[in-house]
């Protein structure tokens, strides 16, 4: 049972890694301008960030900035059940899956 599962998981990870556009330039990192509520913030070098970037077709391999995952714009701060950050405004086609250069906001 577990060996079949591990083969499936390994196959999915290999496929995703191959789908990451290695020749594509990384997105530009600009000063953060958008307040976001993200489920979590991880390193751009993390496996999770790399997998999501690969699904989006974004090359983040040369970036070394915090990445926000599952982010949405903040309209009312008290409604954020995650981490309040200020990020580069992510492109709409990323669908809120990822935001780049997310810095924590403290009040």
Q: What is the pLDDT of residues 41-87, one digit of tens each?
A: 999 999 999 999 999 999 998 889 999 999 998 876 667 888 999 99
Tell whether the model's pLDDT for residue 12 goes beyond 70: no
Averaged pLDDT score across all residues of the chain:
78
Domain range list for the chain: 2-104
Q: Does the predicted model carry a pTM greater than 0.85?
A: no
**CB-based burial of residue 2 (10 Å sphere; 0-12 exposed, 13-18 middle, 19+ buried)?**
exposed
Q: SS3 helix, strand, coil % of the chain, rounded to 5?
A: 30, 25, 40
**CB-based burial of residue 104 (10 Å sphere; 0-12 exposed, 13-18 middle, 19+ buried)?**
exposed
Across 93-98, average pLDDT: 92
The residue with greater pLDDT, 103 or 11, is 103
Tell whether the model's pLDDT for residue 88 goes beyond 70: yes
């Amino acid at each position: 049972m577990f060996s079949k599962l591990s083969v499936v998981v390994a196959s999915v990870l290999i496929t995703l890694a191959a789908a990451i556009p290695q020749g594509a330039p990384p997105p530009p990192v600009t000063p953060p301008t958008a307040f976001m509520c993200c489920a979590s913030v991880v390193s751009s070098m993390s496996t999770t960030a790399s997998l999501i970037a690969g699904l989006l077709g974004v090359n983040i391999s040369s970036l070394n900035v915090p990445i926000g995952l599952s982010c949405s714009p903040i309209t009312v701060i008290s409604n954020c059940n995650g981490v309040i950050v200020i990020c580069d405004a992510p492109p709409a086609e990323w669908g809120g899956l990822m935001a780049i250069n997310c810095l924590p906001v403290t009040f």
